[in-house]
């Protein structure tokens, strides 16, 4: 059975949740014309067993080489094991004692997680899930990751990213060393992996390129750069022009949404509530997966007495941003609105 549709109608987070709850087995394909990219995820009983993405092709050899876990000699020794053994490269590396089974699975799990978290950031595109056996799928190790844990970690990362976004707004920014303001020597107390990131900062690479060069997680690199910016060691710039036209289109769409949000807030401050509602409704139609739009629309709808749409907007916000710092505030607003509607109905019936 095939399940498919545009991500603007059913977000990738909801797709994963659906496949997890229904314990589906099969292959998920996610495409994005704006990014000119494509991702593939294999599920077995609702659990993720494999993930790959076209823009950053991965193989077990590439993953382990980037992590510095294997050498040319170890690869050669593993490949020398007879092809008719029926073993994949990962199992051959373990058999050749180039890596332990535990470390192999740790590296592969991290690679799968990086792909999944990248896909979770997509707000446009198309998904298609084809149910069927994956027993014959060519995977490098028997990895099974709880989809629920991936969703929870994804929510945590979104929440943590919101805290560093004021200094590191995206992976597309360029980091550069800050100028030295005096002649005094300063001592940096950094961990080895933080030094690795610092040594890659050259004023030309963006954060995504640094992560790729190091074979590190993009989110982890962003957090390290945030720390370096906070301590004044590094400054953040932006590329003079996007190198990928698809990324430029995504950026324009996000900028348009932010502009409309600010316009709506200005209308609200001027007590032009109905105009704010209409503007936000247009923003929802164009970008239905931005939580802030639904949040603002809920409060604007309350101002004009449209309680049903206010509640629907807030509930949509909670589904899109379960880890947001605004969640408790929105839940209180929904409860208060429910009490108000109850009193109103009681008065009308009395």
Q: How far apart are CA 72 and CA 54, in angstroms?
A: 25
Residue 247's pLDDT band (cuts 50, 70, 90): very low
Q: For position 245, what pLDDT does the model report? A: 44
> Mean pLDDT across the chain, nearest whole number?
79
Q: pLDDT band at 139, cuts 50/70/90? A: low
Q: Which tens digit of pLDDT belongs to each residue from 155-169?
A: 777 777 778 877 887
- At residue 37, the pLDDT reads 87
Fold of 245-349: 1.25.40
The predicted structure's pLDDT at residue 289: 66
* pLDDT computed for residue 112 by the predictor: 85
Burial environment of residue 107 by CB neighbours within 10 A (0 to 12, 13 to 18, 19 or more) = buried
Q: Is the pLDDT of residue 238 over 70?
A: no
pLDDT at res. 318: 79
Which whole number is the average pLDDT over 275-304?
81
Are 32 and 125 in contact by the 8 Å Cβ rule? The answer is yes
By mean pLDDT, which of 129-133, 183-187, 287-291 is the weakest?
183-187
% of the chain with per-residue pLDDT over 90:
10
Which tokens is 143 given?
């990895």
Q: Which residue has the tokens 């050498």?
A: 71
Given a cut of 70, whether residue 246 has pLDDT beyond it is no
Reference 26, options 44, 51, 5; nearest CA is 44
Same CATH fold, 245-349 and 174-237? no
Query: What confidence score (pLDDT) does residue 243 get?
Result: 45
Convert the chain into a string of H (helix), E (strand) and C (coil).
CEEEEECCCCCHHHHHHHHHHCCCCEEEEEEECCCCEEEEEEEECCEEEEEEECCCCCCHHHHHHHCCCCCHHHHHHHHCCCHHHCCCHHHHHHHCCCCCHHHHHHHHHHHHHHHHHHHCCCCCCEEEEEECCCCCCCCCCCCCECHHHHHHHHHHHHHHHHHHCCCCCCCCCEEEECCCCCCCCCCCCCCHHHHHHHHHCCCCCEHHHHHHHHCCCHHHHHHHHHHHHHCCCEEEECCCCCCCHHHHHHHHHHHHHHHHHHHHHHHHHCCCHHHHHHHHHHHHHHCCCCHHHHHHHHHHHHHCCCHHHHHHHHHHHHHHCCCCCCHHHHHHHHHHHHHHHHHHHHHHHC
Burial class (CB in 10 A: 0-12, 13-18, 19+), 345: exposed
Does the structure show a pLDDT above 90 at 14?
A: no
Residue pair 30/126 in contact by the 8 Å Cβ criterion: yes
First-to-last C-alpha distance (Å) of the chain: 52
Return d(Cα 211, Cα 219) in angstroms, integer.
9
8 Å CB contact between 226 and 237 = no
Output the CATH code of domain 174-237: 1.10.10
- What residues does each domain of the chain span? 2-153, 174-237, 245-349
The whole-number pLDDT of residue 347 equals 66
Residue 41: which pLDDT band, with cuts at 50, 70 and 90? very high
Cβ atoms of 55 and 32 closer than 8 Å: no
Tell me the pTM.
0.57
Residues 114, 247, 288, 30: is their CA dihedral positive or negative? negative
* Confidence at residue 350, expressed as pLDDT on a 0 to 100 scale: 62
Query: In this model, does residue 244 exceed pLDDT 50?
Result: no
- Give the tens place of pLDDT for each residue, 56-107: 777 788 778 767 778 888 888 888 876 656 677 888 888 888 888 888 888 8
Query: Which are the contacts of 131, defined by CB distance < 8 A and separation ≥ 6?
Result: 1, 2, 3, 24, 25, 26
Selected residue with higher pLDDT from 86 and 108: 108
Q: Which two tokens stand for residue 88?
A: 């994949």
Residue 129 has pLDDT above 90, yes or no: yes
**Alpha carbons 139 and 152: distance in angstroms, whole number:** 25
User: What distance in Å separates the CA atoms of residue 205 and residue 50, rounded to the nearest whole number?
Assistant: 29
Confidence at 13, pLDDT banded by 50, 70, 90: confident
* Residue 252 clears pLDDT 60, i.e. is over it: no
């Amino acid at each position: 059975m095939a399940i498919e549709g545009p991500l603007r109608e059913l977000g990738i987070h909801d797709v994963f949740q659906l496949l997890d709850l229904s314990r589906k087995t099969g292959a998920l394909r996610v495409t994005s014309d704006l990014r000119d990219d494509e991702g593939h995820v294999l599920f077995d009983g609702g659990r993720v067993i494999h993930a790959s993405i076209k823009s950053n092709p991965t193989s077990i050899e590439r993953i382990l080489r980037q992590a510095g876990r294997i050498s040319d000699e170890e690869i050669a020794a593993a490949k020398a094991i007879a092809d008719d053994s029926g073993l994949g490269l990962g199992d051959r590396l373990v058999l050749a004692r180039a890596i332990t089974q535990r470390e192999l699975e740790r590296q592969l799990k991290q690679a799968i997680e990086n792909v999944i978290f990248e896909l979770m950031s997509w707000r446009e595109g198309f998904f298609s899930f084809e149910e069927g056996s994956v027993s014959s799928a060519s995977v490098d190790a028997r990895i099974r990751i709880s989809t629920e844990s991936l969703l929870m970690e994804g929510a945590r990362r979104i929440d943590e990213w919101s805290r560093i976004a004021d200094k590191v707004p995206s992976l597309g920014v360029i980091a550069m060393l800050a100028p030295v303001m005096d002649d005094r020597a300063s001592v940096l107390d950094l961990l080895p992996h933080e030094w690795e990131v610092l040594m890659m900062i050259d004023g030309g690479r963006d954060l995504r390129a640094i992560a790729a060069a190091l074979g590190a997680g993009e989110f982890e690199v962003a957090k390290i750069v945030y720390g370096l910016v906070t301590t004044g060691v590094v400054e953040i710039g932006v590329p003079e022009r996007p190198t990928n036209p698809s990324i430029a289109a995504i950026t324009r769409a996000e900028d348009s949404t932010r502009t409309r949000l600010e316009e709506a807030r200005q209308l609200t401050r001027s007590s032009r509530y109905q105009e704010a509602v209409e503007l936000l409704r247009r923003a929802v139609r164009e970008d239905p997966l931005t939580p802030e739009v639904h949040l603002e629309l809920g409060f604007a709808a309350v101002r004009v007495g449209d309680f049903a749409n206010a509640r629907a907007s807030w509930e949509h916000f909670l589904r899109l941003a379960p880890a947001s710092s605004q969640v408790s505030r929105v839940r209180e607003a929904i409860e208060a609105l429910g009490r108000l509607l109850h009193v109103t109905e009681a008065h009308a019936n009395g």
